[in-house]
């Protein structure tokens, strides 16, 4: 697919479809760097930036991703140019949220009731159970992945977010620290076919609350 150098954001949104069929062309290191940079610039709660990414391009490992025990035989994953394993650093999420709150208070950047609200939020997050912490940090990781998806369209790359995988096996396969949680697999490559179908979506009336 050609690079879409002057694509507007709305065009990128309209042109993005999940791509599950890739050419053998490698994804360049420049393109990988551009995707990670897009993710890096995403917003996050209290600027905690809990996302961590492991870029996998080794063909043998990509092949393993397509196998039954890892992804329930989503064999097309083997054809991806890269799989970016998107992880959440949950303890980092808590620590960095606390650090931001401390910084805001020390520097009088946020004051009064709003600052008290932030302190309460951070306290709640810090003492939440592991499941709640995972949900909160995974939300931030998902937002960063959306930034990568749209940047990929501009680069002429196809992507698909994959949520069906065995987390423990993925961690062992690519060597991810036990402290981190895997939030999703971000498959990326040069599309063999660009899906042209309309987006199948609920109507506005179904999602817009009165
Ligand atoms: C959280 C999440 C998990 C997903 N998991 C998978 C998956 O395991 N395998 C897959 O082929 N697609 C997966 N998808 C892609 C969706 O099927 C796809 O986004 C949806 O059908 C809408 O199609 P579109 O992306 O082409 O607009 C996932 C998407 C999201 C956001």
Domain range enclosing 24: 18-91+130-193
Lowest-confidence pick of 2-16, 42-56, 89-103: 2-16
Cβ–ligand 1 distance for 82 under 6 Å, the answer no
Residue 34 falls within a domain, yes or no? yes
Q: Which two tokens stand for residue 122?
A: 């951070």
Rounded distance between C-alpha atoms, residue 101 and residue 113, angstroms: 13
Residue nearest to atom 1 of ligand 1 (CA): 163
The pLDDT value given to residue 204: 97
Q: Does 203 reside within a domain?
A: no
How many domains does one find in the chain?
1
At 4 the pLDDT is 62
Check pLDDT > 90 for residue 195.
Answer: no
Q: Decide if 11 is inside a domain.
A: no
pLDDT at 197: 79
CA 59 to ligand 1 center in whole angstroms: 23
Give the Å distance between the CA of 161 and the centre of ligand 1.
6
Return d(Cα 90, Cα 79) in angstroms, integer.
31
Grade residue 119 by pLDDT with cuts at 50, 70 and 90.
very high
Among 88, 162, 167, 196, which is best to mutate for testing ligand 1, by the most ligand atoms less than 8 A from CB?
162
Beta bridge partners of 84: 55, 186
Residue nearest to atom 6 of ligand 1 (CA): 162
Cβ pair 1, 158 in contact under 8 A: yes
In angstroms, the CA 93 to CA 48 distance is: 5
For the chain, the C-alpha Rg in angstroms (whole number) is 19
Structural domain includes residue 207:
no
d(CA 36, CA 204): 32
User: Mean per-residue pLDDT for 74-79?
Assistant: 98
Question: 85 has which bridge partners?
Answer: 54, 185
pLDDT at residue 63 greater than cutoff 90? yes
Identify the band that residue 198 occupies on the pLDDT scale cut at 50, 70 and 90. confident
Lowest mean pLDDT segment, chosen from 2-11, 70-79, 113-122, 141-150: 2-11
Q: Do the domain assignments include residue 26?
A: yes
Instruction: Tell whether 4 is covered by a domain.
Output: no
CA distance 15 to 195: 9
Q: Is the pLDDT of residue 122 over 70?
A: yes
Mean pLDDT of the chain: 95
pLDDT tier, 5 (very low <50, low <70, confident <90, very high otherwise): low
Residue 97 — very low, low, confident or very high, per pLDDT cuts 50/70/90? very high
pLDDT of res. 33? 98
- Is pLDDT at 1 greater than 60 in this prediction? no
SS3 47: helix
Lookup result for tokens 């950047």: 109
Taking the chain, what is the end-to-end CA distance rounded to the nearest angstrom? 41
Ligand 1 centre distance from Cα of residue 105 (Å)? 40
Residue 150 lies in a domain: yes
CATH number of the domain at 167, please: 3.40.109.10
Q: What is the pLDDT of residue 165?
A: 98
Identify whether 29 is part of a domain.
yes
Least trusted range by pLDDT, from 96-105, 147-156, 170-179, 189-198: 189-198
Q: Flag whether pLDDT at 2 surpasses 70.
A: no
Q: How many C-alpha atoms does 142 have within 13 Å on its Cβ side?
A: 9
| pLDDT tens readout for residues 160-171 | 999 999 999 999
Q: Residue 2 class from Cβ within 10 Å (0-12 exposed, 13-18 middle, 19+ buried)?
A: exposed
């Amino acid at each position: 697919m050609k690079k879409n150098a002057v694509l507007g954001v709305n065009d990128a949104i309209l042109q993005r479809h999940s791509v599950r069929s890739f050419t053998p062309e490698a994804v360049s290191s420049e393109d990988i760097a551009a995707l990670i940079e897009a993710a890096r610039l995403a917003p996050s709660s209290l600027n905690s930036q809990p996302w961590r990414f492991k870029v996998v391009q080794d063909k043998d490992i990509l092949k393993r991703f397509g196998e039954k025990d890892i992804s329930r035989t989503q064999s097309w994953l083997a054809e991806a140019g890269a799989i970016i394993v998107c992880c959440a650093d949950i303890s980092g999420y808590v620590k960095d949220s606390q650090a931001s709150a401390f910084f805001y208070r020390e520097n009088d950047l946020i004051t009064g009731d709003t600052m008290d609200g932030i302190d309460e939020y951070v306290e709640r997050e810090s003492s939440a159970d592991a499941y709640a912490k995972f949900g909160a940090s995974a939300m931030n990781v998902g937002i960063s992945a959306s930034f990568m998806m749209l940047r990929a369209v501009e680069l002429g790359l196809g992507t698909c977010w994959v949520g069906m995988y065995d987390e423990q096996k993925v961690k062992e396969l690519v060597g991810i620290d036990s402290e981190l949680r895997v939030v999703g697999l971000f498959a990326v490559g040069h599309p063999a076919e660009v899906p042209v179908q309309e987006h199948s979506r609920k109507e506005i009336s179904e999602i817009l609350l009165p």
